[in-house]
Structure 1
Amino acid sequence: MLQTYLKAENLKYKRSLFRKLIILIPTALIMISMVFIFIGIGLGGFSSAMVSNWSMPIASLSIVILCHLVNNKDQKHKYRTIYSLPIDLKKTFISKTILIALNHLIISLFLSLITIISEGVSSGVSVAIGHTGYFILGYCLLWLSLLWQIPFCLFLDQKIGFIGSVIINLFASALGGLFFSLTPLFWFFPYSWPAKFMVTCFGVLPNGLLVEADSRYILNLGESSLLVLISVLAMLILSALFSRWYRRQVYRN
């Protein structure tokens, strides 16, 4: 049944900016990373600059933009397209969350492909092929650590608007990445989870430098698995909570 809702939501964004962001966001990230390399900030190399900029804060910003486009689609019509149909609004919210998550996953996989190609150019094809699995796994773990932000940003965008959501997510992402991700407090500050996975999977510190292989900042397998579990649970709990809120909000409007 949920598949029907997902197909209906997906049809709304055919040939829209929502779809085009799959290409536009990686393109923007490539350009930003090249600027960082040019001015001497990306000292770990192009791949390090890519993953560093993605984790802090472009990934969070991309979720804010995707959530705003999804919300704006129904708000523009004052929810008339929802009122006229006998649908479950909780499932509608969940389908929106899944659609945004899938788009974000495609962007993440696209970025992993770009990283593999860049490593092939800089370090050789054999090295890039040998690390292909690590790059794909790394970007997938970054994606998992960001999933909880989707229902939260759908809520935040409706409550305080697009600009407010951008400011809060940019600030929190920078705060989490630069200050909490390298301390034990990262467990309690979700915005630091992508940066922690970046250090663990890619060996890149929040400042773009490479970390030593035996660094205490790198999570072991058990800690990584626990963080994945916490990330998934956070997404499920927030999706359940905000789907109920969405149903009340739409009826109120």
Structure 2
Amino acid sequence: MGAYFKSEYLKTKHTFIGKLIFLAPIFAILFPLGLTPAYFEIDSYNWWYSMLLPGMVSLLCTLAAVKDKKMKNMAVLSLPIDLKKVWISKVLVCMLMIAFASIIHLIGSVIIGDVLHFGKLGIIPITNAVLGSLVLIVTFLWQIPLCLFLGSKIGMFPTILINIITYLILGIILAVKDVMWIIPYAVPSRLMCPIIKVLPNGLPAVQGSTTFRSELLSSSVILPGIIITLVLFAILTILTAKWYEGQEAK
């Protein structure tokens, strides 16, 4: 399995994917630093999970998918290899990239917000920031096999458009509704309410903020949300790996 992973990882070297994992978190830091400096850290996280992280996941996965598709998958389908392992390696590489980008975002936000005390109205305790980053990584994992599959089937731009628009509509608007449990897109932003005390619309999760309800601060949703997205990730990875195994060179 290690050889498969190394092979897929090498495909990303010296490509835009390598730059993307730096650019996305840096933009998530720079935007609030310039636009809403007083609320820097909470807005940095809100920008990250509401727009830049889903955008990065969509673009990263589709770039990984179309790399082989450009050659009609001949580079892998013509070799005596385990196609399931190839697919799972693609998933693992994307997981690594997302985790690395999230760590960059976490370090930048903590240094500027908690260490330098920039934006005192929006500071997030370091433990909450770390937990928030870990939860975002986990709850976004299920989008990896989905975007890899869609990227292979319908191409880069339709996949990016579908995933981002769906996330903005379902993941932000419905995150504060009771139906969020049946909408995996809504889980990440919903879990950020009790963890970093920020609403999906970017406002502090306090009385008087638009869409605020006291139950949104309940930490009881964190574990179920993580379990739901992990189960979905496992299901999608298994199903898409079986689909990829059944591909034939054309």
Residue 192 of structure 2 is aligned to residue 195 of structure 1: no
Does the 8 A contact of 2:62 with 2:156 survive in 1? yes
Whole-angstrom distance in 2 between the partners of 1:171 and 1:233? 23
Residue 155 of structure 2 is aligned to residue 161 of structure 1: yes
Does the 8 A contact of 1:22 with 1:106 survive in 2? yes
- The Cα shift of 1:206 comes to 1.6
Does the 8 A contact of 1:147 with 1:231 survive in 2? yes
State which drifts further: 164-173 or 147-156. 164-173
Whole-angstrom distance in 1 between the partners of 2:109 and 2:214? 23
**Equivalent in 237, 240, 248 of residue 239 of structure 1:** 237
CA deviation map 1:158-192 (0-9, x unaligned):
22222211221121111123321101111111111
CA deviation map 1:91-145 (0-9, x unaligned):
11111001101110011111111111121223699xx8x9322211111101111
- Partner residue of 2:116? 121
Whole-angstrom distance in 1 between the partners of 2:147 and 2:9? 19
CA 1:84–1:161 in structure 2 vs 1: closer, same or farther (change >3 Å)?
A: closer
Does the 8 A contact of 2:129 with 2:196 survive in 1? yes
- The Cα shift of 1:80 comes to 2.2
State the secondary structure of the residue aligned to 1:177: helix
- Give the letter for the 1:231 counterpart: T
Does the 8 A contact of 1:23 with 1:107 survive in 2? yes
Aligned residues between the structures: 243
- The runs of at least 4 consecutive aligned structure 1 residues that moved more than 6 Å come to none
Does the 8 A contact of 2:191 with 2:221 survive in 1? no
Residue 106 of structure 2 is aligned to residue 133 of structure 1: no
Does the 8 A contact of 1:55 with 1:198 survive in 2? no
Listed as ranges, the matches of 1:65-104 within 5 Å are 65-104=59-98
Unmatched 5+ stretches in structure 2: 208-212
- Partner residue of 2:248? 251
- The Cα shift of 1:35 comes to 4.8
Does the 8 A contact of 2:170 with 2:183 survive in 1? yes
Does the 8 A contact of 1:138 with 1:201 survive in 2? yes
RMSD of aligned alpha carbons:
2.3
CA 1:105–1:181 in structure 2 vs 1: closer, same or farther (change >3 Å)?
A: same
- The Cα shift of 1:252 comes to 5.2
- Give the letter for the 2:248 counterpart: Y
- Give the letter for the 1:180 counterpart: L
- Partner residue of 2:210? none
Q: TM-score, normalised by structure 2?
A: 0.89
Whole-angstrom distance in 2 between the partners of 1:80 and 1:192? 37
CA deviation map 1:212-236 (0-9, x unaligned):
399211232x431121111111101
Whole-angstrom distance in 1 between the partners of 2:150 and 2:88? 16
Does the 8 A contact of 1:36 with 1:49 survive in 2? no
State the secondary structure of the residue aligned to 2:116: helix
CA 1:228–1:243 in structure 2 vs 1: closer, same or farther (change >3 Å)?
A: same
Q: TM-score, normalised by structure 1?
A: 0.88
- Give the letter for the 1:88 counterpart: D
State the secondary structure of the residue aligned to 1:33: helix
- The Cα shift of 1:57 comes to 2.1
Identity %: 30
State which drifts further: 149-158 or 10-19. 10-19
